[in-house]
């Protein structure tokens, strides 16, 4: 039986929370299944588990959240800066007695840089799983897709162990093992390089999670199916993993000295509105808009807003909404239902026409278009949107080229693009400029007097001033403030 680490002494300080990082030699090795099942198994054993994901991915944290019963969070040095990773980890781990961090791609895969610009003396790719593990001082458990591996697995494991000795690899989990004999050979291979086997998973079709063009189907879209999938992962992993050994490895974390990140402290230098104003910021949710970082609502609240979630598939815009945030997701999968909600589409057009701010990213940009592949969207922007076969993916170092409700011309950010769609041209000011991989400058996104919309996903912890600017604008044009002014005018006539 596993004894929860905080059971006898109470919850640990967030900075010293035991943690393990689940990594792999490459994508497709089974990290998400193992991580989600491990989180569920630890929770079933009585632990309070804090789940994290390395990189910008929104989908995996949704499954982590179902398993942990608390929000999944992201750790991405490219988006927030390496200096914020340990504080964000400490913030997200508050109240937990163990943290599980799912890696991204292969252990040492980070942001791709142009030839000749990489620091060849540093084997840790910027934003890689190894980079994040080194920042938070957590040991790595390597998940290996064992199908096709035999004795040569020893050489693979030796390579990962020796590539960078500063990365602590505590053990290996063997995934998709074919038979007892196959397991014996693989255990022998791991033993040759001194790496403990912390779990063995047989090939099991019930552990697969449905996917489509951009990866796994988000847990928020699957509802009961997602819960059932997580339950299946938990049940299978609970019997396949050496939980006591994994907890012991997590306790070996060398915790850095980090003060937990605070949304209130992040926005304090930039906040300009009276908390009593509390403008309502309506944030799109539901099945069509599932992409968002947990810290976004925390920062909007700290900036003085009252955050209200609405579902564009079925809801109208809250009558007192002073600002609107529409994040990423899959509007193309729900185009008919979005088009059918004509009352909300009219609400959004009226909201923008009144000068009330809208912040839209990726799917949000598509929803603001006039139409998406023939389906009417909100029409806030008089440009068409379309779904296509080409994947656009990567980090972007962008500069604002127009003043907007979020940014001022010349302000710089690092964001991430991930989409298979596009929008048409129109007589609207662009939001961003950046250089492509060939060094060519180009502009992206759209700004109007009340709208900032683009494909660029930004982490809120990196843009506190912009979010304060957005909330301040919402406070200025809030329906509640307009009503108050009208009442005061009526009272003095």
Break the chain into its structural domains and give their ranges.
14-112+124-251, 263-484
Q: What is the pLDDT of residue 332?
A: 87
User: Rounded mean pLDDT of 461-486?
Assistant: 86
Picking from 273, 461, 432, 277, the residue whose alpha carbon sits closest to that of residue 362 is 432
- Band (436; pLDDT cuts 50, 70, 90): confident
What is the rounded average pLDDT of the residues 10-18? 68
For residues 370-392, average pLDDT:
94
End-to-end, the C-alpha distance of the chain in Å comes to 76
Per-residue pLDDT, 369:
97
Q: pLDDT, tens digit, for every residue of 38-80?
A: 999 999 999 999 999 999 999 899 999 999 999 999 999 999 9
Asked if residue 392 has pLDDT above 70, the reply is yes
Q: Is the pLDDT of residue 212 over 60?
A: no
| Section 399-415 average pLDDT | 98
- 263-484 and 14-112+124-251 share a CATH fold: yes
Over residues 83-107, mean pLDDT: 97
| Across 385-408, average pLDDT | 94
pLDDT band with cut points at 50, 70 and 90 for residue 196:
very high
Question: Is pLDDT above 90 for 113?
Answer: no
- Find the angle CA(205)-CA(209)-CA(215) to the nearest 5 degrees: 135
Lowest-pLDDT choice from 108-117, 322-331, 463-472: 108-117
395: closest CA among 416, 367, 423?
416
| pLDDT score at 484 | 53
Provide the b/e sequence for 194-215 (b: ≥16 CB within 10 Å): ebebbbbbbeeeebebeeeebe
Q: Which tens digit of pLDDT belongs to each residue from 171-188? A: 999 999 999 999 999 999
Q: What is the pLDDT of residue 349?
A: 98
Residue 165 has what pLDDT?
87
CATH 3.90.550.10 fits 14-112+124-251, yes or no: no
Residue 226 has a pLDDT of 81
Active site residue 362: yes
Q: Are 99 and 51 in contact (CB under 8 A)?
A: yes
Please, which residues bridge with residue 75 across strands? 54
Look at strands 73-75 and 49-54 and give their pairing.
parallel
* Lowest mean per-residue pLDDT among 86-100, 207-221, 285-299: 207-221
Phi, psi of 398 (to 5 degrees): -115, 155
Q: Output the CATH code of domain 263-484.
A: 3.40.50.880
What percent of the chain is modeled with pLDDT above 90? 77
Residue 267: what are its φ and ψ, rounded to 5°? -90, -15
* pLDDT of res. 214: 45
Q: Let me know if 174 is exposed, middle or buried by CB neighbors in 10 A (0-12, 13-18, 19+).
A: buried
Is the pLDDT assigned to residue 146 strictly greater than 70? Answer: yes
Question: d(Cα 431, Cα 117) in Å, to the nearest integer?
Answer: 28
- Rounded Cα–Cα distance for residues 296 and 298 (Å): 5
Confidence label for 145 from pLDDT (cuts 50, 70 and 90): very high
CA 301 to chain CA mean position, Å: 19
CA distance 463 to 489: 38
Catalytic option among 59, 250, 282, 362: 362
Count of other CB atoms within 10 angstroms of residue 440? 8
The whole-angstrom separation of Cα 338 and Cα 201 is: 41
φ/ψ of 11, rounded to 5, equals -65, 140
User: Residues 217-237: what's their mean pLDDT?
Assistant: 81
Nearest to 84 by CA among 93, 95, 72, 76: 76
Name beta bridge partners: 177: 202
pLDDT band at 119 (very low <50, low <70, confident <90, very high): low
Q: Which of the four pLDDT bands, split at 50, 70 and 90, describes residue 2? A: very low
3-state secondary structure the chain: CCCCCCCCCCCCCHHHCCEEEEECCCCCCCHHHHHHHHHHHHHHCCCCEEEEEECCCCHHHHHHHHHHCCCCEEECHHHHCHHHHHHHHHHHCCCCCEEEEECCCCCCCCCCCCCCCCCCCCCCCCCCHHHHHHHHCCCEEEEEECCCCCCCHHHHHHHHHHHCCCCCEEEEEEEEECCHHHHHHHHHHHHHCCCCEEEEEECCHHHCCCEECCEECCHHHHCHHHHHHHHHHHHHHHHHECHHHHHHHHHCCCCCCCCCCCHHHHHCCCCCCCCCCCCEEEEECCCCCCECCHHHHHHHHHCCCEEEEECCCCCCCCCCEEEEEECECCHHHHHHHHHHCHHHHHHHHHHHHCCCCEEEECHHHHHHCCEECCEECCCCCCCEEEEEEEEEEEEEEEEECCCCCCCCCCCEEEEEEEEEEEECCCCCECCEEEECCCCCEEEECEECCCEEEECCECCHHHCHHHHHHHHHHHHHCCHHHHHHHHHHHHHHC
Q: What is the mean pLDDT of the chain?
A: 90
Q: Over the stretch 232-284, which tens digit does the pLDDT of each residue have?
A: 999 999 999 999 999 999 999 998 989 999 999 999 999 987 655 699 999 99
Determine the pLDDT at residue 1.
36
Q: Give the number of other CB atoms < 10 A from CB of residue 281.
A: 29
Q: What is the pLDDT of residue 213?
A: 43
pLDDT tier at 122, thresholds 50, 70, 90: low
Report how far residue 419's alpha carbon sits from residue 332's, in angstroms, rounded to the nearest whole number.
11
């Amino acid at each position: 039986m596993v004894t929860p680490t905080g059971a006898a002494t109470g919850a640990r300080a967030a900075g010293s929370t035991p943690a393990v990082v689940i990594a792999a030699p490459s994508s497709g090795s089974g990290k998400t299944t193992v991580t989600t099942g491990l989180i569920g198994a630890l929770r079933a054993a009585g632990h309070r588990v804090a789940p994290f994901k390395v990189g910008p991915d929104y989908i995996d944290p949704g499954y982590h959240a179902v398993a942990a019963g608390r929000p999944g969070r992201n750790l991405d040095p490219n988006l927030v800066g390496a200096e914020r990773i340990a504080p964000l980890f400490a913030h997200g781990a508050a109240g937990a007695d163990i943290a599980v961090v799912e890696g991204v791609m292969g252990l040492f895969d980070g942001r791709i840089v142009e030839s000749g610009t990489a620091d060849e003396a540093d084997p840790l790719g910027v934003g890689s799983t190894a980079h994040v593990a080194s920042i938070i001082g957590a040991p790595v458990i390597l998940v290996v897709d064992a199908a096709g591996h035999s004795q040569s697995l020893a050489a693979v494991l030796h390579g990962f162990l020796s590539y960078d000795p500063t990365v602590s690899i505590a053990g290996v989990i063997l995934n998709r093992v074919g038979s007892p004999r196959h397991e014996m050979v693989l255990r022998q291979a791991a033993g040759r390089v001194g790496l403990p086997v912390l779990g063995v998973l047989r090939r099991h079709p019930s552990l697969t999670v449905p996917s489509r063009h951009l990866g796994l189907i988000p847990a928020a879209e699957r509802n009961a199916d997602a819960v059932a999938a997580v339950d299946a992962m938990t049940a299978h992993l609970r019997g396949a993993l050496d939980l006591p050994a994994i907890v012991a490895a997590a306790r070996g974390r060398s915790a850095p000295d980090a003060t937990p990140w605070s949304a209130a402290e992040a926005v304090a230098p930039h906040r300009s509105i009276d908390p009593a104003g509390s403008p309502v910021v309506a944030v799109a949710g539901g099945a069509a808009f599932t992409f968002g970082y947990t810290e976004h609502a925390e920062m909007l609240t700290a900036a003085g807003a009252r955050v209200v979630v609405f579902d564009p598939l079925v809801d109208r815009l809250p009558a007192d909404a002073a600002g609107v945030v529409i994040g990423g997701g899959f509007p193309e999968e729900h185009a008919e239902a979005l088009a059918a909600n004509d009352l909300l589409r009219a609400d959004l057009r009226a909201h923008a026409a009144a000068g009330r701010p809208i912040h839209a990213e990726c799917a949000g940009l598509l929803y603001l278009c006039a139409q998406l592949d023939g389906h009417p969207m909100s029409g806030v922007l008089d440009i068409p949107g379309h779904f296509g076969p080409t994947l656009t993916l990567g980090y972007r170092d962008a500069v604002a080229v127009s003043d907007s409700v979020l940014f001022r011309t010349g302000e710089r950010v690092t964001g991430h693009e991930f989409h298979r769609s596009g929008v048409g041209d129109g007589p609207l000011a662009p939001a961003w400029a950046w250089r492509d991989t060939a060094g060519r400058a180009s502009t992206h996104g759209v700004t109007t007097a009340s709208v900032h919309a683009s494909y660029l996903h930004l982490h809120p912890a990196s843009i506190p001033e912009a979010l304060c600017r957005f909330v301040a604008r919402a406070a200025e044009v809030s329906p509640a403030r307009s009503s108050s002014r009208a009442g005061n005018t009526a009272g003095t006539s």
